[in-house]
Amino acid sequence: GAVVSQHPSWVICKSGTSVKIECRSLDFQATTMFWYRQFPKQSLMLMATSNEGSKATYEQGVEKDKFLINHASLTLSTLTVTSAHPEDSSFYICSARPGQGAGVSYNEQFFGPGTRLTVL
């Protein structure tokens, strides 16, 4: 149990285009989802916290108009990188935290497999 999927697993796009990444919790309801970005040989940097039905909370320095997050249901959150540029090329990882009573540790979060974005 507690599987999180991401789609696509990799994407290559031209500079100026927008890219949407989906994060789904497959067998549990996720009240909270997190979006991270990871550059090569660096750790995960939290970009934003997404709660179902409300606006995402962005970390300092993350442009909310550039990285649009929508958490429309308890099993789906999307990250849209608008007008992508080469410096946005990175590994984007989502994670999901189950709601209370889901049968797993409330504090644990489960990671998706990641999406590698390359902007030409």
Partner 1 sequence: GQNIDQPTEMTATEGAIVQINCTYQTSGFNGLFWYQQHAGEAPTFLSYNVLDGLEEKGRFSSFLSRSKGYSYLLLKELQMKDSASYLCAVLNTGGFKTIFGAGTRLFVKA
Q: Please give the residue ranges that form the binding site for partner 1 (CB under 8 A).
A: 32, 34, 36, 41-46, 49, 57, 91, 93, 97, 105, 107-114, 116
Residue 82: beta bridge partners?
none
Q: Which is nearer to partner 1, 34 or 75 (CB)?
A: 34
CB of 69 to partner 1, least distance (A): 15
Q: Which is nearer to partner 1, 26 or 83 (CB)?
A: 26
CB of 57 to partner 1, least distance (A): 7
Q: Which is nearer to partner 1, 93 or 119 (CB)?
A: 93
Q: Which is nearer to partner 1, 13 or 46 (CB)?
A: 46
Q: Which residues fall within 8 angstroms of residue 104, CB to CB, at 6 or more apart?
A: 1, 2, 28, 98
Please give the backbone phi and psi of residue 52, each rounded to the nearest 5 degrees, phi first: -55, 130
Q: Half-sphere exposure (CA, 13 Å, Cβ side) for 99?
A: 11
CB of 36 to partner 1, least distance (A): 8
CA of 51: how far to CAs of 4, 43, 81, in Å?
A: 16, 23, 19
Tell me the two tokens of residue 61: 């320095």
